[in-house]
Amino acid sequence: MNWKAEFSLRAFVVYLACLAAASILAGIVWAGTVGAIGGLSIARDQEYQQQITTFMQDKGIGADASRAQVEHVLDNLSEEEQNQLSAISESLLGELNWFLVAAAASAILFGVIGLLGGLISRAWLLAGAVPILALLFSKSMIRLSGVQDLGVLEKAIVVVFAQIALCCLFAYLGSRLRSRATLAKQ
């Protein structure tokens, strides 16, 4: 292992940029992960689908309605009806496996950050600092809704395995890929 390369100025700058990127991308990755896992949950939850279908039929919208008709009805809901629709959706979101969501979002975010950091810097040891600093400074994933209800052990598992370990693993893979590409060119 080349210690000088692992702790070079280039590696520090790259991983500081990765820290900034992690803070910016956390919300985007979180929303995408909640959307994907939430969508799968909706597709499998017959009770939720029935509640939404009944609600929409009560408003005069059938299965054959156009998108414009649905949007028109939704735009003209009273505040009480909007609260009723929100309550139906919130009940489903309350049943999501937030540990799975947090682990998946963390794995995606810090896996990508680690891989890019390793490819660009050709170093991987500093990658473990990115999730730790993100946790200390911006609480990138821990501050998001749904994760706040997780227990301390679940949060620790997400941080240690889905964030730190995967960021280091993918940074290592990225640095090895970059080293092999450099050797192949010579």
Quote the CA–CA distance of 58 and 8 in Å, as a whole number: 65
Neighbours of 182 (CB within 10 A): 10
128 and 168 Cβ atoms separated by less than 8 Å: yes
pLDDT in tens for each of the 186 residues of the chain? Answer: 777 777 888 889 999 999 999 888 988 999 999 999 988 988 888 988 899 889 888 888 888 888 888 888 889 888 998 999 888 888 877 788 889 999 999 999 999 999 999 999 999 989 999 998 888 876 666 666 778 888 889 989 998 999 999 999 999 999 999 989 888 887
Q: Given this model, what pLDDT does residue 17 score?
A: 93
Q: How far is CA 43 from CA 37, 48, 74, in A?
A: 10, 9, 21
Give the C-alpha separation, 60 to 185, whole Å. 66
- Compute φ and ψ for 50, nearest 5 degrees: -65, -40
Sign of CA dihedral 173, 177, 178, 183: positive
pLDDT of residue 141: 63
pLDDT at position 139 is: 65
Q: In this predicted structure, what is the pLDDT of residue 140?
A: 60
Q: 1-23 b/e with 16+ CB inside 10 Å = b? A: eeeeeeebeebeebbebbbebbe
